[in-house]
Amino acid sequence: MSDAIRHKLTPLEKSERRLGFAMLAPAFLLLAAVVLYPIAELIRNSFHFNHLAQPWMGTPFVGFENYVKALGDDRFHEAVWHTVLYILVTVPGAVVVGLGLALLANKPFAIKWPVRLGLLLPWALPLVFAGLIFRWFFEYNQGVANAILRGLGFEPLNWLTTPSLAFFAICLAIIWKSSSFVALVLLAGLQTIPKSFYEAAEVDGATKWQQFREITLPMLRPAIFVALIFRTITAIQTFDIPYAMTNGGPGNSTETLAMYIHKTTVDFLDLGYGSALAVLMFIVSALITSIYLRHTRRDPGRH
Amino acid sequence: MAGIEIARVVKAYGATPVIHGIDIDVRDGEFVVLVGPSGCGKSTLLRMIAGLESITGGTIRIGDRVVNDLPPRDRDIAMVFQDYALYPHRTVAENIGFGLKMRGVDRAIIDKKVQEASEILQIGHLLERKPGQLSGGQRQRVAMGRAIVRDPKVFLFDEPLSNLDAQLRAEMRVEIKKLHQRFGTTIIYVTHDQVEAMTLADRIAILKGGHLEQFATPEVVYKEPRSTFVAGFIGSPTMNMVKARVAPDASVIMLEGGASMAAPPAFRRAAGRDVLLGLRAEHIALSDAPAALAAQAVIVEPLGSDTLALMRIGAVEMTGRFAPDSGLVAGKGVKLMLNLDHAHLFEPDTGLAIV
């Protein structure tokens, strides 16, 4: 069948096809250089011993040794557990806050710029900046958090040096930073809901809360799903904010998987083991992305 | 059931008035159509009755209650929207029963009412489908079903047929009329289509630029238009409108370009004045009488049941409606009688009717 089609191509079509491939080539080569090659190199590395501090050992092939090492590595397990906790807290947190922001931004305000600024600023800010700002907020002597506590007559807290408080502070920073992206996605979703849906509901006797539950939420489901998936994929890679706020401390109590990988490779110079950990993280991200892709491919058929 | 009283109602957006004091008195059980070109304020007025737009001035009464400050849900109305406003994530049954569910009506009663309504509208077999799986006409029926189950005092329709093709539109027109005969509920219906207005309404309110031009039965609106606007808007083909002058003694009327005819007694009120002469196509006839005017067929449009022809009479052109076997040919000379007993005279400046 496909042979039959290929034979029917006229010279003009063939030259158009060649032109098409030629125009795709630069983009493909660039992607190959910055994505495909590093991934291949990462996977190759993960099956080798490669420790920059021990150059005399060379880079021998070690099979699954690096992966087996990960299974018994407590610090790796902790980092995974912390990452899971960040996902469980900050993904729903960002969706709830983002939904609130989106609903607010969807209201007809007379002056729109403060709302838009509030919506876009966290999104436009680099992650490390956000981390630094929140580190300052939770600083013991000059931070806003302790100033408020003192103002209310409470003792100041050691926010960033108490494990549970540091975790809380980091989650707050991540939610603040990531909720604006969620809000943008949900705002786009909100604006596709026809006004007449609400008017019909109003005439039919639905209260504002009923309208939210019966119209807004179900109509927003696809957008919420997209936001959840994107947020989850970035949450798996959580790095910058805890890095800037606590650098994983106190101890390893706020260290994420991405931070541990970074430390293993950049600080401890163990490229082989670090690569194995990175491959594991890559597999989890790829799995979640594939769930998302399957869902979006199925979605249009269902409606 | 209830009548609706719209008294000196004004709507303004900021300093821009869009409705300038409209009075419409709708009787209990009456079918009133608000009609006019886009931007005339008909939809705004309907939405003010529904409570979806605030009322800047005047009062709206449903039954004996002033509803100016009542939210839509307390007005006991049901509305069918132009885009039907069906919830895509809900089944047909859930869409129809939505209003009842929101009001906390018992599940069993909702099911029963949905069943009844869907049978009346012949959509009983579609109850488990989603709106996305329905045709335009079926969606229209679902939207009406949602209004019916509420059993409201008043139905409001906002251009409900404008998204349907011509054939379906005619079908649904009949359906809506049947519904009105069956339930006898007061209906206010907005459209820009004068055919819909004529066929459906007990009384038609013709709006233009936020003013009420005329509010009367289809027959009166057709036969006694109060202005050139109403005369031109209602009826197809559009009423012929030509410049003319009535003789000072009102014995003859002269069309622009010199043709003159004996004037009927009614024209005495316009004696000696420049006027616009309005005459419908059906009041132009071929004739051999000595007084008949010489004319020439410019364009001939056979419609099957009859034939429309654009005729040139001196300097003016008028469209006439003729029998299909009249043997009219474009370019050929004919003799015409204008039945001036059915003619209208309008003031050229204000457009208001004189006769």
Task: Report the alpha-carbon distance of residue A237 to residue A242 in Å, rounded.
Answer: 11
Task: Report the alpha-carbon distance of residue B321 to residue B195 in Å, rounded.
Answer: 18
Q: How do the domains of chain A map onto residue ranges? A: 2-36, 66-302
- Whether B247 and B254 have beta carbons less than 8 Å apart is answered as yes
pLDDT, averaged in runs of 10, over chain A (303 residues): 62 90 94 92 86 80 82 86 90 93 85 81 87 87 83 82 86 91 92 92 91 92 88 87 84 87 88 89 86 67 41
Give pLDDT < 50 ranges for chain B.
none
Cα of B252 to nearest chain A Cα, Å = 57
Task: Report the alpha-carbon distance of residue A280 to residue B335 in Å, rounded.
Answer: 96
Q: Which CATH architecture has domain A66-302?
A: Orthogonal Bundle (1.10)
Q: What is the pLDDT of residue B27?
A: 94
Taking the model in full, what pTM does it have? 0.80
Using the beta-carbon criterion (under 8 Å), do B77 and A203 form an inter-chain contact?
yes
Task: Report the alpha-carbon distance of residue A85 to residue B19 in Å, rounded.
Answer: 59
- Whether B202 and B31 have beta carbons less than 8 Å apart is answered as yes
- Whether A182 and A94 have beta carbons less than 8 Å apart is answered as yes
> What ipTM, to 2 d.p.?
0.84
Q: What is the pLDDT of residue B149?
A: 92
Rg (C-alpha) for chain A, rounded Å, is 25
Using the beta-carbon criterion (under 8 Å), do A194 and B85 form an inter-chain contact?
yes
Task: Report the alpha-carbon distance of residue B16 to residue B39 in Å, rounded.
Answer: 13
Which two tokens mark A188? 């786009």
Residue with tokens 């489908």: B129
What are chain B's domains? 4-228 (3.40.50.300), 240-346 (2.40.50.140)
- Whether A241 and A178 have beta carbons less than 8 Å apart is answered as no
CA torsion angle B254 B259 B265 B271 (round to 10): 10
Using the beta-carbon criterion (under 8 Å), do A196 and B71 form an inter-chain contact?
no
Q: Which residues on chain A are in Cβ contact (under 8 Å) with B89?
A: 218-219, 221
Cα of B169 to nearest chain A Cα, Å = 21
Q: What is the pLDDT of residue A301?
A: 40
Q: What percent of chain B is helix, strand and coil (3-state, nearest 5)?
A: 30, 35, 35
